[in-house]
């Protein structure tokens, strides 16, 4: 009798027919059998079964402008409040557009086939198939200019501190308007989840800060603070006996900023470390075009960003994250009980002290 190959040990492809009672868990576990549907299944399982263990610190990176589509409300806030995300790196655009919702400003479903010249004449702004009134930008700009006049903003700070303070004001506005769970910055403030941006000047928030500086405002976002704080956060997770996981939605600068924490620790600071333990990415970028968004976990190993022993615990799902992220979020919320919030924002000084101690030890050698 021919010996059965070890390649044939995988679950037999024989899904049950779908019916009107189909549930998200059954759909992902039993119907997503191959191709990128299978990668989505593997991503959901990795997130649920390993990344959400209590000793794992989960970082989430957000690229582009997901929040205008409501992803902040539908996906990110539930993850924050469930304790499924411990720290975030985002584009400034995501956080700026997130603020619209916290201020009660409306975004509308539209079409990508509208005449943009006509939209401009009618003062309608388009983000692909999302429409909103130009006044939404002006009102959000006015909000940020108003809050950064406050005394607590008149100094140099990291982006996590800035977003925490901004989240406090957005949360207060939500209360005043009688709305709830509309802004991820407000949710991050309430749950003490630190939120960083990799390029503080590359958004309307940064543009307003720069304009206010011309009038004597003292607020300055210091990227050095962010680089060291995020490295300290990862090192602290490891030194406490836990693990570090990255959940990368899209790619771009937030992806690199989250992953560079390990080269900062190992290459630049000379501290003994091995890389992130879990790597999960949703992207539509190819790895062969020179763009970072398609860079694979195995490539990240060569930089020290990912622990080489952890390559089996890495998944890249090549798909549109506006489709796949809600599916993964719905899956883990169905499967997992809430985790206790780590509230890492409160521990930034303690984590920085650990990083500084280890860095001083390496410089003595």
Question: Other CB atoms closer than 10 Å to residue 206's CB: what's the count?
Answer: 18
Burial 93-122 (b: 16+ CB within 10 A, else e): bbbbbbbbbbbebebeebeeeeeeeeeeee
Distance (Å, whole) CA 340 – CA 47? 16
Residue 89 pairs in a beta bridge with: 61, 196
How does DSSP classify residue 306? Answer: B
Q: Which residues are catalytic?
A: 305
The full DSSP string for 183-204 is -HHHHHHHHT--EEES-TTSSH
The rounded Cα 81 to chain-centroid distance in angstroms is 14
Minimal CA–CA distance to 97: which of 54, 58, 143? 143
Residue 315 pairs in a beta bridge with: 280
Minimal CA–CA distance to 310: which of 274, 271, 282? 274
């Amino acid at each position: 009798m021919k010996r059965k190959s070890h390649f044939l040990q995988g679950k037999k492809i024989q899904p049950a027919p779908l019916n009107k009672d189909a549930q998200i868990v059954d759909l992902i576990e039993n119907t997503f059998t191959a191709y990128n549907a299978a990668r989505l299944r593997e991503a959901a399982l990795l997130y649920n079964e390993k990344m959400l263990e209590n000793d794992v610190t989960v970082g989430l990176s957000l690229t582009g402008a997901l929040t205008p589509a409501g992803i902040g409300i539908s996906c990110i806030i539930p993850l924050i409040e469930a304790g499924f995300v411990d720290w975030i790196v985002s584009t400034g655009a995501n956080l700026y557009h997130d603020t619209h919702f916290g201020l009660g400003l409306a975004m509308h479903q539209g079409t990508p086939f509208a005449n943009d010249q006509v939209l401009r004449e009618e003062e309608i702004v388009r983000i692909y198939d999302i429409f909103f009134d130009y006044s939404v930008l002006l009102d959000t700009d006015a909000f940020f200019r108003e809050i950064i006049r406050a005394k607590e903003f008149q100094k140099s700070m990291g982006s996590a501190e800035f977003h925490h303070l901004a989240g406090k004001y957005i949360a207060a506005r939500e209360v005043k308007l009688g709305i709830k769970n509309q802004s991820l910055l407000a949710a991050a403030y309430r749950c003490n989840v630190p939120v960083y941006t990799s390029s503080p000047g590359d958004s309307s928030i940064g543009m307003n800060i720069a304009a206010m500086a011309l009038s004597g405002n003292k607020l300055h976002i210091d990227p050095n603070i962010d680089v060291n704080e995020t490295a300290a956060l990862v090192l602290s997770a490891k030194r406490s006996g836990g693990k570090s996981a990255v959940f990368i939605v899209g790619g771009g600068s937030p992806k690199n900023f989250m992953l560079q924490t390990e080269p900062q620790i190992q290459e630049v600071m000379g501290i003994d470390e091995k890389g992130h333990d879990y790597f999960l990415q949703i992207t539509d970028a190819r790895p062969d075009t020179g763009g970072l968004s398609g860079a694979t976990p195995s490539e990240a190993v060569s930089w020290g960003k990912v622990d080489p022993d952890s390559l089996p615990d890495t998944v890249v799902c090549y798909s549109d994250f506006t489709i796949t992220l809600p599916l993964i979020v719905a899956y883990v919320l169905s499967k997992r009980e809430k985790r206790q919030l780590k509230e890492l924002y409160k521990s930034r000084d303690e984590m920085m002290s650990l990083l500084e101690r280890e860095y001083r030890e390496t410089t003595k050698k």
